[in-house]
Structure 1
């Protein structure tokens, strides 16, 4: 028996990897994603089916993934689908549900105030189990079973001892291949200490003319090791960046991307920034507000784990009813190129 775990790269992968460990899956996991430095390292030793990327609002990619899902279901005895999205889930869940396979969609913690596009589409499919990572959003079919941010708290500043000189810094902009964040880099080169040793993981951002040694991607183990020894971690306000910092005991400085500047598909990173500030596990600022005082405040702060995160209990599933099977058998999922 197999549990299919389709996921987008970046924070979605990090979330699903953590939740799968907490969910106590009763079948062998089979991952479904595309290959980059992060996925190749995080999923080393796992069973993986590599597929082509599905980008935001990429309906051709969704349809292509749907065709690949038909082939996967013919070759493997899939007994459940568990996913954190994003777009790849739209290609997998309708097909799996049409086969009567229990499906679980866990909305990313990046969506604080409401479901993203994937969640809004999937909530119209009968029989799909829907999960939010925020208890205040557990209404209707949406259930709360836990969050990836459970089990962390910031230490009081005075408990961290003397202010730490900023010698080693990690700057990470995530794995997106569509949206740059040059504004943040331009700001950081003016306020970081000139003698700091900085790892610049910049994704697809154009760094032409900036006095930095940029790397598009960094394998997950290397990035984790760099964060663990860093005095300061700065990044875009993504779930994966936040979790990597917290896991290493670092209080990150997180800067939300802004849709008005073409840095993201929408402004959901602002929502996440507000919630992480509420939890006290990040310092957040806009690009314009970022200054050396904020960097030093983060450098002298630390985060600790509080026990072990509780299990993430998936809803017990029954076979989808006739209405669900009929809805998910629409020719749309099979006929388009």
Structure 2
């Protein structure tokens, strides 16, 4: 069903076109939200995504059509969502364009829109620094939608280049924030996202053996949940609780999920980023290595492999903060 919730900022957007905005939750939705104004999305645009605490908080006050969650490589549910959208989109139209930033929801969403004559645009995730994802390759093979990449290195005549959503962030020194105890006993917030069913135990084990006092640490562990940890442990947190813990921490340690990284940067924190690796069974592929390398090159984070995470990586993040401007088209 379509839901609309109260928004503190919907009136700030300029009305240019009525868009169909399609994205899986997490980093894909975070990117589309950040791009929406530069894409010309009017207040009457319709968002299609999964029903999560992130989507409810991020899209509060906007028109939202929730669809069933599609796990990575889940063709059966993708087909179910395609049929649902093929039925329901005519009731919500007309639309000027359908735009998606991935992941699994992009294929059924854009193809259902195309079935009803709505032109489509797929913007590949900023995490794909070396080439398109499986979803991007499948959509390219259909020749039914326009294609854009956020990285000029692999842009082509078909994959047009647009500026990355990370271009507007910058790291600055914040020496006034360094206090005596933050280098010996920093307050840490560790967030590993909610991707199922992948664990990231090497990161946790490295922190436990680091020699740091972890008694003030807050852990958001998702599928890596365990109870043998000092501090405050959560399987999941709501969006407001996530923000509160990010802001309260001396240092934020995160997996290399685009949504997690973007929210931390948006709140002005310089994180320690730890990418998941497919070879350790931590994700379906190695796209987190690509996004981690990118934020490292841009100077927006300390980047370290999970088994190598130590006290010096955390100390280097103390006293730095992120400033941000809006995204230009």
TM-score range, shorter chain: 0.7 to 0.9
Q: Which moved more, 1:41-50 or 1:115-124?
A: 41-50
RMSD of the alignment, in Å?
2.1
Moved more, 18-27 or 108-117: 18-27
1:265 deviates by 0.6
8 Å CA contact 1:186–1:210 kept in 2: the answer is: no
1:41 and 1:161 map into 2 onto residues whose CA distance is: 32
Structure 2 match to 1:253:
272
Classify 1:33/1:67 alpha carbon distance in 2 versus 1 (closer, same or farther; 3 Å).
same
Deviation at 1:156, TM superposition (A): 4.6
Conserved 8 A contact 1:173-1:181: yes
Q: Distance in 1 between matches of 2:248 and 2:168?
A: 22
Of structures 1 and 2, the one with the larger relative CO (CA 8 A, separation 6+) is 1
Paired residues for 1:213-224 under 5 Å? 213-224=232-243
Q: Which residue of 1 aligns with 2:167?
A: 150
Q: Which 10-residue stretch deviates more, 209-218 or 136-145?
A: 209-218
Is the 1:164–1:231 contact (alpha carbons within 8 Å) kept by the matching residues of 2?
Answer: no
* 1:102 alignment partner in structure 2: 119
Q: Where does 1:13-32 land on structure 2 (aligned, <5 Å)?
A: 13-26=29-42, 28-32=44-48
TM-aligned CA deviation for residue 211 of structure 1? 4.2
Deviations 1:153-201 (A, max 9, x none): 2225768666771542211111212212122122223327325422211
Q: Counterpart in 2 of 1:120? A: 137
- Match for residue 72 of structure 2 among 53, 56, 72: 56
CA shift for structure 1 position 148: 1.1
Q: State the match for 1:191 in structure 2.
A: 210
Aligned residues: 310
Aligned residue runs from structure 1 range 246-285, under 5 A: 246-285=265-304
Compare 82-91 and 28-37 and name the one that shifted more.
Answer: 28-37
- 17, 20, 23: which one pairs with 1:4? 20
C-alpha separation between the residues in 2 aligned to 1:96 and 1:295?
46
Structure 2 residue corresponding to 1:33, chosen from 30, 42, 49:
49
Distance in 2, matches of 1:204 and 1:114, equals 28
Deviation at 1:27, TM superposition (A): 6.3
Is the 8 Å Cα contact of residues 180 and 205 (structure 1) preserved in structure 2? yes
| Structure 2 portions without partners, runs of 5+ | 1-16
Superposition misfits of 4+ residues, deviation over 4 angstroms:
156-164
* 1:135 partnered with 2:120: no
Shift of 1:140: 2.2
2:311 counterpart of 1:295? no
* Residue 239 (structure 2) pairs with residue 239 (structure 1): no
1:118 is paired with a residue of what secondary structure? Answer: helix
Give the Cα–Cα distance (whole angstroms) in 1 for the partners of residues 287 and 99 of structure 2.
23
CA distance in structure 2 between the aligned counterparts of 1:100 and 1:34, rounded to whole angstroms: 24
Which region of structure 1 is more displaced relative to structure 2, 165-174 or 183-192?
A: 183-192
What TM-score, normalized to structure 2? 0.87
Q: Which moved more, 1:34-43 or 1:107-116?
A: 34-43
CA contact under 8 A between 1:163 and 1:296: conserved in structure 2?
no
